[in-house]
Homo-oligomer: A and B are copies of this chain.
Amino acid sequence: MLVNCVVYQDGMKVAEIATDQIHEYLRRPNAFVWVALHDPGAPEFEQMQREFGLHPLAIEDAQQGHQRPKIEEYGEAVFAVLHMIEPTDGQFDVGEVDIFAGPNYVLSMRSHAQRGFQEVRARCEREPELLRQGSGYVLYALMDAVVDRYFPILDRLEDELDAIEQRIFAPESSPRSNIEALYELKQRLMIMKHAVAPLLEGVSALTGGRVPSLCAGLREYFRDISDHLQRLNQTADSIRDTIATAISVNLSMITLQESETMKRLAAYAALVAVPTLIAGIYGMNFQHMPELSWRYGYESILLVMAALDGYLFYRLRKAKWL
């Protein structure tokens, strides 16, 4: 579906045009067309390929979807694929935005993602001196927006990890739910990681050595994105490492709880076993067992049992078994 199709010249918006007029504006000097689509269908793909002369392999990738993030050059044009991550109900929905940028056009196609880029367009239009730099700046602005949206998501993952960590060491935690939460957190982290790591690779090609002419004057801007991606990537690696440690720590806590449970059980068993032995002794049928005929033999022996158990209880509690 078409979101927008606008012509800019010298950093200023000229007109909203129909998509079939695009080729008329492509020849204007210092102008570029910025088209935004979402969830485009086959006819839109064909029209765009025709209007902008996109490379068939790039259009095939965009049409097929599920690409890994990447930045590729086709002649003078740049083709960028970025993942858009949108948390819904504790799950991550992974959308995709494909950006085709040539000297005189930018085409962004967003799929399976709720949130658009109206704010990016608005900000660009408010800063004509930057927009004057052309389609390369729009490419930067779109990529910057996508990457900036990763930060709060990763922050929330970090917060969740913090919460799980505190539960792990809490005395009455449920190791089963902890481990499930850690596992599930790692799954989501990997989605983030797969969005960030390959993109980092791709962006570095826009900041180092030979740069596409499109991005020529914007090296510092793309380096800024690369820097953000590195920060995200490092944080993700660090969370991953912490999850691995937390899983092994959780295993230790499980084994430890098991060991403590065993001690408690054994302590209770002792409290039962000792009086059972005594009762057994006085259940023997020897003819000559003087205690049996004592007037308060029974009561005394009950007291002895209670006393022994009391002493045992005291010792076991002191040894932290109970």
A-side residues, CB < 8 A to B, are 55, 57, 61, 67-68, 70, 72, 74, 165, 169, 175-176, 179-180, 182-183, 186-187, 190, 194, 198, 220-221, 223-224, 227, 230-231, 234, 238, 241-242, 244-259, 261-263, 265-266, 268-270, 272-277, 279-289, 291-298, 301-302
Residues of chain B lying within 8 A (CB to CB) of residue A198: 230, 234
**Cβ of B190 and Cβ of A242 under 8 Å apart?**
yes
Closest to A279 in B: B280
Interface centre among A169, A176, A231, A280 (most CB of B within 10 A): A280
Q: How far is the CB of A212 from chain B (nearest CB, A)?
A: 14
Tell whether, in the assembled complex, residue B249 and residue A252 are in contact, meaning their CB atoms are under 8 Å apart.
no
| Cα distance A276–B277 in the bound complex, in angstroms | 5
* Bound CA–CA A230/B71 (angstroms): 13
Chain copies in the assembled complex: 5
Check B283 against A292 for contact (C-beta < 8 Å): no
A67 to B40: give the CA distance in the assembly, Å: 37
B180 touches A169 (CB 8 A): yes
Asked if A259 meets B252 with Cβ closer than 8 Å, knowing A70-B227, A287-B297, the reply is no
Please, which residues of chain B bring their CB within 8 A of the CB of A293? 287
Q: Which residues of B contact A289 (CB under 8 A)?
A: 285, 298
Chain B proximity of A181: nearest CB distance (Å): 11
